[in-house]
Amino acid sequence: MTDQRFGATILDAAELRLSVEEKALFRDVNPFGFILFARNIDNPDQVRALCDDFRDCVGHNAPITIDQEGGRVQRLRAPVWREWFPPLEFVDAAGGQATRAMYLRYRLIADELFELGIDSNCAPMVDVAGPQTHDFLRNRCYGNDAMQVAALGRAAADGMLAGGVLPVVKHIPGHGRATADSHFDLPRVSAPRADLDAVDFAPFKALADLPMGMTAHLVYDAIDEAPATLSKPVMQVIREDIGFDNLIMTDDISMKALEGTLTDLSRGALEAGCDVILHCNGTLAERAEVAVAAGEMTDAAQTRALRALDARRTPDDIDIPALQSELEALLGGALHG
């Protein structure tokens, strides 16, 4: 394990390979990790080469993450990789076997990711669906019962960990009541604190041992006027009441839900208690601005980062075709979207 202090950022790339300027920036700011998007994906050899480039820049086995939930949010797509039904439809199709089905789904996803050099996934998403859940989130949810969602999230996380992939539980402490899309607007949740504790926060409390979590960009009126990502009171709830003391990254700091400069937002999120800033879909100058504003990890964040990396494991030795056949049988042959 490296002795160097990580930069408090997770950054992305503009294209299929790194530019000279990107390589120089990454060497200089030493981000904790990296994230991939569809624009970074062409074929397996290219993805492996890009992952190697990322890690060569920083000189250590940096975590590389991706959004591979399945359904609408998946960066690896057919015909090279498996297509998946949206999680909510998948859970409904699996019925009473949903827990096993979710384990198999994410164990198969982990196999594809690990083979490419990707060792983290921004899942499970354990936001609890409700009557008003916005369409951008609804079919990405696992259900409307908090404990069932927690059990399915645990199965998904276990499948990824068994496959050598670190899960990132999101969107902590709960995005299910949002009636706006935080990519474009700031949602406000007016539910009483007791309801939040009983429903929204419950799956995250059940999964508080997972190595990494991602914040929600929304306001909880019962706790604070500031968005959760920028709120010390909400971060205190996450750390103390929910009990999540592992690494917390922001959701993309450039999303329109948050107002302010990238510098102010990055510093504000770290001051609130986040450990690392996730920045996506920006220019090279914007990535540099975030990296400079975030600086190096605090002692506490570095400890959590090292603990997360220590959770990486060698994939278990299993028969992938047999697992796929089991899942197809469980779903009556309806595996793919």
CATH number of 7-322: 3.20.20.300
Show which residues are catalytic.
Answer: 183, 251
Span 7-19, mean pLDDT?
A: 98
Residue 323, pLDDT > 70, answer yes
Number of H helices and number of E strands within the chain?
Answer: 13, 12
Task: Encode pLDDT of 282-317 as tens digits.
Answer: 999 999 999 999 999 999 999 999 999 999 999 999
Task: Encode pLDDT of 35-56 as tens digits.
Answer: 999 999 999 999 999 999 999 9
Residue 85, pLDDT > 60, answer yes
- The answer to whether 275 and 297 have CB atoms below 8 angstroms apart is yes
Q: Please give the model's pTM, rounded to 2 decimal places.
A: 0.96
> What are the residue ranges spanned by the domains of the chain?
7-322
